[in-house]
Structure 1
């Protein structure tokens, strides 16, 4: 089970609903629970496998909601048009790649790794599935 070295200031369900309303998205329940518990932060166990060909990477930090350097809202606005619209970035790795959470359609609730410096042939060409749910991704960090 992953522990967090540090977490961001506590937020309420109203803060999350406000974020969802502002960006017209619905976050999966288990991710909402994570935000209520930690509101992002730095995981103690942070390594994850990308794929056999890409190896592994680390979660640098999970984004939170509120007044912090990198938060969900700022990252959402920066990456709008860069990442597929069915996703929101929830974390990054030290190389500037993003960990994305599916927020609609067939990707709902699934966690993907988005590599920023691969020029994809199609929308999903630089993305690798990491887990079928946020909980699965989080508990499998090592």
Structure 2
């Protein structure tokens, strides 16, 4: 059973931002010269981003023993720049590692990023505002999960 089926079984309803298709996903992949993982593509096609609610909020960063709170998981062409992968990734492109897109933000003003380079793949927290006590100029990126599904599952545990 996939993550979306598990959520439905537990009666978690997610608010989709806007329906998209594979052409929209291909646009993002070409724009940022990446290949998005299949679990993330499935999420985008089904929900294209979601806004936080009571059950969809906290992620524990075990490496530094701190929590961050999910605000929005971005989508593609949502009709609102503040909810778009393309907008935020372009805004921070010079600060990001290669083969990385920004997929969401936290209440603490950091970003959730998806690395798709083949060797460091996964979801990370990018504390660009240095809101966490562990963040400084040398280290402000923290590993969360190996896959998008794993990241998404963490939100509901």
The two structures have a TM-score, normalised by structure 1, of: 0.87
SS of 1:60's equivalent in the other structure is strand
SS of 1:20's equivalent in the other structure is helix
The answer on whether the counterparts of 2:33 and 2:99 sit within 8 Å (CA) in structure 1 is: no
> In the alignment, what sits opposite 2:124?
112
- Unaligned regions of 5+ residues in structure 2, if any? 1-5
SS of 1:57's equivalent in the other structure is strand
SS of 1:90's equivalent in the other structure is strand
What does residue range 12-91 of structure 1 map to in structure 2 within 5 Å?
12-44=21-53, 45-51=56-62, 53-66=64-77, 67-70=79-82, 71-91=84-104
Select the structure with the greater relative contact order (CA < 8 A; seq sep ≥ 6).
1
The answer on whether the counterparts of 1:86 and 1:107 sit within 8 Å (CA) in structure 2 is: no
- Displacement after TM superposition at 1:95 (Å): 1.8
Aligned pairs, number: 138
- Displacement after TM superposition at 1:82 (Å): 1.2
Give the structure with higher Rg (CA): 2
Cα deviation 1:88-124 (Å, max 9, x = unaligned)? 110100121011111113112x111111123332xxx
The two structures have a TM-score, normalised by structure 2, of: 0.80
The answer on whether the counterparts of 1:42 and 1:60 sit within 8 Å (CA) in structure 2 is: yes
- Unaligned regions of 5+ residues in structure 1, if any? none
SS of 1:58's equivalent in the other structure is strand
CA-atom RMSD, angstroms?
A: 1.7
